Amino acid sequence: PPDVEQLGRSTWTFLHTMAAYYPEVPSYAQQRSMKTFLSAFSQFYPCNICAEHLREEMKSKPPKVESRWALGNWLCEMHNIVNETLGKDIFDCSKIDERWRDGPKD
């Protein structure tokens, strides 16, 4: 079975980076595609317990796909829910661009 920690780090990197480069003003087609992607992702993520938790969270907090800002913050919130469950530090969501797009300010 996959290494759940290594898989998680790589996957969060992919997801947060994708959100950081999502269009500021996505078309309706792009919004639909992102919803479809996240729904499929939550079915096929190769850590069953993780995917189950995610699907459960997504029922009460469906993905926000109306803008780059909305998607990035939704994903940050989802990741923080996992962080909390695992006893990890909560990430400051105002720092997502610095972490995943622009790099630290000098």
Q: By CB under 6 A, name the binding residues for ligand FAD.
A: 4-5, 8-9, 11-12, 16, 45, 49-50, 53-54, 76, 79-80, 82-83, 86, 88, 91, 96, 99
Which is closer to ligand FAD, CB of 27 or CB of 72?
Answer: 72
* Residue with nearest beta carbon to ligand FAD: 8
- Could you give phi then psi for residue 55, rounded to 5 degrees? -60, -40
Looking at beta carbons only, is 29 or 85 nearer to ligand FAD? 85
Minimum Å gap between C-beta 14 and ligand FAD is 9
Return the number of the residue (29 or 49) whose C-beta is nearest ligand FAD: 49
Query: Which residues touch 76 (CB under 8 Å, ≥6 apart)?
Result: 16, 91, 93, 96
Helix ranges (H only) for the chain are: 4-20, 28-44, 48-60, 68-86, 96-97
Tokens of 67: 């803008």
